[in-house]
Amino acid sequence: MRHTVVERELELRMIVSPEYDVPVPARLAYRTDDPYAVHVVFHVGSEHPVHWTFARDLLVEGVFRPCGDGDVRVWPSKALGRSVVLLALSAPDGEALLEAPAAQVAAWLERTLRLVPPGSEGEQLGIDDELAGLLAQ
């Protein structure tokens, strides 16, 4: 089975304080062999990139309304008159609040949803085929 990857490089802003933010290069990745998840790599090209993986559904919903609890929370907002998606990440090492351009995130998500529509993720995993192969033996 052939797998497809949908990637998008973009610059996020890490919100340090109400007056100060830091640019953070990032890459969004979606893989059909891991159809329920999105992968985000922060500090792309640096010596120590940071990897996060969480549910695609969480990001899809977070573009429209606040969602998530625990380690990953996502919600829409406005910054300087433009639509953004805020992503709050929490780990034992610390927390980060990141701002992403909503239009770029939504366009990338749309590509993933066309590739693997919601509800069809399980078909990508080929579990039924594997099970049928095992039972046939």
Reported as a single tens digit per residue, the pLDDT across 72-84 is 999 999 988 999 9
Return mean pLDDT, the chain. Answer: 90
**For residues 19 and 127, which has the higher predicted lDDT (pLDDT)?**
19
Q: Around Cβ 28, how many Cβ atoms within 10 Å?
A: 21
pLDDT at 63: 96
Q: According to the model, what pLDDT value does residue 127 have?
A: 57
CATH number of 5-117: 2.30.31.20
pLDDT value of residue 129: 61
> Stretch 65-72: mean pLDDT, rounded?
94
Top pLDDT among 75 and 91 is at 75
In this prediction the pTM is 0.85
Distance CA 19, CA 114 (A): 38
117-121 contacts at long range (C-beta below 8 A, 24 or more positions apart): 118/57, 118/60, 121/35, 121/36
Residue 45 has pLDDT above 90, yes or no: no
Q: Are 51 and 39 in contact (CB under 8 A)?
A: yes
